[in-house]
Amino acid sequence: MPREILLRASIARQAMDMWRGGRLVETYPVSTSRFGVGFEEGSFKTPTGRFRVCACFGGGQPTGMVFRGRLPTGEISPGGDEDLVLTRILWLDGLDPENANTRQRYIYIHGTNHEDLIGRPASHGCIRMRGSDLVRLYDFAGVGTRVEIW
């Protein structure tokens, strides 16, 4: 039986709810863009609307694994100022006309080396999560998972 998972990210709350079979199962704190919401290429804004996960990366990698070009580097996050993509990647594909360029913008749900900023807008357009939360979420979400960002 397929898992009916829906992820609903609230920009106002800086939180993402995971729904399964119409029931709220878990809520995770997140960080969306510090530049606000929008759809323009190069804007570093978080798009809103309806999406689906089109690809997943990082299953089985340790928490904190650094990814470049969606490939694990073998390096565990050293911290620092650079905005790193860590732990897991859920790549989003826009389903609405206004967010149809989301995949080409490389908008992900991913881990971060700036976990201290989770709970407030701080990303460059993606949805950042704590590594431990993302590992748990990754076990339920997969290609085809529906995502809503509002």
Q: Give the integer Cα–Cα distance in Å for 126 and 48.
A: 11
Yes or no: say if 42 and 48 are a contact pair by the CB < 8 Å rule. Answer: no
Number of Cβ within a 10 Å radius of residue 18: 20
| Residue range 27-84, pLDDT digits in tens | 999 999 999 999 999 999 999 999 999 999 999 999 999 999 999 999 998 778 888 9
C-alpha to C-alpha distance for 75 and 145, rounded to whole angstroms: 28
Over the stretch 11-22, which tens digit does the pLDDT of each residue have? 999 999 999 999
**Would the pLDDT of 24 be above 60?**
yes
Domains by residue range for the chain, with CATH: 5-149 (2.40.440.10)
* Residue 82: predicted pLDDT: 87
Each residue of 88-145: pLDDT tens digit? 999 999 999 999 999 999 999 999 999 999 999 999 999 999 999 999 999 999 999 9
Chain length of the chain: 150
Q: How many Å apart are CA 128 and CA 108, to the nearest integer?
A: 8
- What was the pLDDT predicted at 78? 79
Report the alpha-carbon angle 88-91-95, nearest 5. Answer: 150
Cα separations (Å) of 92 from 15, 62, 78, 143? 17, 22, 26, 9
Band of pLDDT at residue 2, cut at 50, 70 and 90:
very low
pTM of the model: 0.95
107 near 126, Cβ under 8 Å? yes
**pLDDT value for 3:** 60
Would the pLDDT of 1 be above 70? no
d(C-alpha 146, C-alpha 52), whole Å? 4
Q: What is the pLDDT of residue 70?
A: 97
